[in-house]
Structure 1
Amino acid sequence: MSTNANNANTGADPYENFRALLQKNVSFPCQYTFKFIVKVDDQKHDQVLAVFAGTDAQITENNSSQGKYRSFSVVVPVKDEEEVIRYYKEVSKIESVIML
């Protein structure tokens, strides 16, 4: 999930292409899988979990072999592409998170 640098200059929505892909390829409502990687840090861990607090999310966590990174697989029910994008926007506020 990347944004185009030109979007910043034109004022275009950086999620426009992603939104179109979701509309074309995903049947909503559905169980959507998010994947994130962060450096092992209790604060970042808690921030990721907080984004999905109060939902029916199923969260799986794994540490990297050397223990420097933690990956999250989050399966959560979503009603439409806008909800998917809202989750990505919230997680993107976490410093140095990698969204897959």
Structure 2
Amino acid sequence: MDQNTEDEFYSRLKEQLSSVSKWPSNYLYKFIVPTNELKIKEIEDCFNNTGAVIESKTSKNAKYTSLSITVNLNNPDEVIEKYKEVGKIEGVISL
């Protein structure tokens, strides 16, 4: 995703989050990553010390792992900050 597209995406996301949720609020992230303990740990580390509840599920053929992460955040900017942090990890798909 180029920088303009990314900026527009996060701008729209911030507007949507601001209009549909009262903050602070729980937010559910969903990520898919190739099954690799190091990659999974990198994602989990992004949520250390946040009180996040992390659930993982491996695909039928064990090629991919999905992570569902529920965390209480103060505002839409914190949601976007976590997406950007996890987005730096190669091979991660954000849903």
Query: Do the two structures share a fold, i.e. TM-score over 0.5?
Result: yes
Deviation at 1:80, TM superposition (A): 0.2
- TM-score norm. by structure 2 comes to 0.91
Letter in structure 2 aligned against 1:48: I
Deviation at 1:13, TM superposition (A): 2.6
In the aligned structure 2, how far is the partner of 1:13 from the partner of 1:74?
A: 23
In the aligned structure 2, how far is the partner of 1:59 from the partner of 1:75?
A: 7
In angstroms, what is the RMSD of aligned CA positions?
A: 1.7
In the aligned structure 1, how far is the partner of 2:14 from the partner of 2:21?
A: 10
Which residue number in structure 1 is paired with residue 80 of structure 2? 85
1:63 partnered with 2:58: yes
Which residue number in structure 1 is paired with residue 49 of structure 2? 54
In structure 2, the gaps of 5 or more residues are: none
1:22 partnered with 2:17: yes
- TM-score norm. by structure 1 comes to 0.87
In structure 1, the gaps of 5 or more residues are: none
User: Residues 48 and 18 from structure 1, CA distance in 2 versus in 1: closer, same or farther, beyond 3 angstroms?
Assistant: same
Q: Which has the higher Rg, Structure 1 or Structure 2?
A: 1
Deviation at 1:6, TM superposition (A): 7.9
Give the helix-richer structure, 1 or 2.
Answer: 2
In the aligned structure 1, how far is the partner of 2:12 from the partner of 2:44?
A: 27
1:7 partnered with 2:4: yes
SS of 1:13's partner is: helix
